[in-house]
Structure 1
């Protein structure tokens, strides 16, 4: 064990910090165990003591992303007195802003292999956000299957985030920002706005 490893009180947290920074700076392709260890200043085998597989380290980094997104949503909806439709608009805006501000993290968070692997119960970290969406949709559309509408709305928001990031939606729609697309998505899934 080198001196840096001895001096690091919580190497597990440091590895996740470095991984998140590397992801933000260089994208998903840069997240190798060896590169994270190098940037953390530890031997290339050190991460394996905390994360026996690459998927486990990636899951820990993705969990950080879900935690950050949940914190943003909680802050956005802290008042809780707005009508459900207004809260859904704010939730959608927060989701899209997070995705566009953190493209590498966003891509990592929704990797099927991580969610299916069961590492760190990552799915349990993501499901409460969907549960909140279902609850708000249920209040805005009591006549509909809230889970189905929420799934379709989430897929729509996810598509907006990806296509906006790739530049496709700006090219196709001529929109300067995603706001008109967010409003159209909400109207498509919730019906015309009526104050609910």
Structure 2
């Protein structure tokens, strides 16, 4: 059973910490409530006091990933002022995160497993949407500054392209498909090609 020192907010944070460690080390399949409770050193029923559903705990874990990704976006954009360069920096930060933290990246976009609709209990923290939507809004704003006629649609298509690049590269499909090309291909070149495919030409 958990000690008194591990009650309340500290225990809630510990459960999320353990979940983050698990998903990074072993992937989404390891994120069972019992296993998280066991590794946190508490009874298997303890998580239910802070996360009434499995979805709410997974959402809290995923929120950590979105916070990490948002921090990376801030660092990537800080030295840049041109919108196209900023979109490229976001694309590289996004694909880089996907390849470095594959388990978390997979969880973050599994909304069939998460509660992204606002049904999460107040005790589980802010709604997942409040962590995810600002990142898409940032991309949309930058795409708009690049002169796209339909910024939200263009941003969504670009996001899907970048997500596909990250997944297919991680799975080995793109390196295999491009292995016989005329020259070396890496993720950075593919991000550049995605921007060329979706953003208007010329300086904005």
TM-score, normalization by structure 1: 0.92
- 1:106-125 alignment, distance < 5 Å: 106-113=105-112, 114-118=114-118, 119=120, 120-125=126-131
Mapped to 1, the partners of 2:185 and 2:199 lie a distance apart of 24
Q: Is the 8 A contact 1:51 1:57 kept in 2?
A: yes
Q: Which residue of 1 aligns with 2:51?
A: 51
Mapped to 2, the partners of 1:97 and 1:190 lie a distance apart of 21
Deviation at 1:176, TM superposition (A): 4.8
Mapped to 2, the partners of 1:77 and 1:53 lie a distance apart of 36
Q: Which residue of 1 aligns with 2:13?
A: 13
Q: How many pairs are equivalent?
A: 191
Q: Which residue of 2 aligns with 1:105?
A: 104
Q: Is the 8 A contact 1:88 1:137 kept in 2?
A: yes
1:128 aligns with 2:120: no
Instruction: Please identify runs of 4+ aligned residues in structure 1 that moved more than 2 A.
Output: 115-120, 174-177
Q: Is the 8 A contact 1:5 1:11 kept in 2?
A: no
1:150 aligns with 2:149: no
Mapped to 1, the partners of 2:150 and 2:36 lie a distance apart of 44
Mapped to 1, the partners of 2:104 and 2:22 lie a distance apart of 10
Deviation at 1:78, TM superposition (A): 1.9
Q: Is the 8 A contact 1:153 1:186 kept in 2?
A: yes
What secondary structure sits across from 1:43 in the alignment? coil
Mapped to 1, the partners of 2:41 and 2:90 lie a distance apart of 38
Cα distance 1:45–1:7, how it changes in 2: closer, same or farther (>3 A)?
same
What RMSD in Å do the two structures reach over aligned CA positions?
1.5
Structure having the higher helix fraction is 1
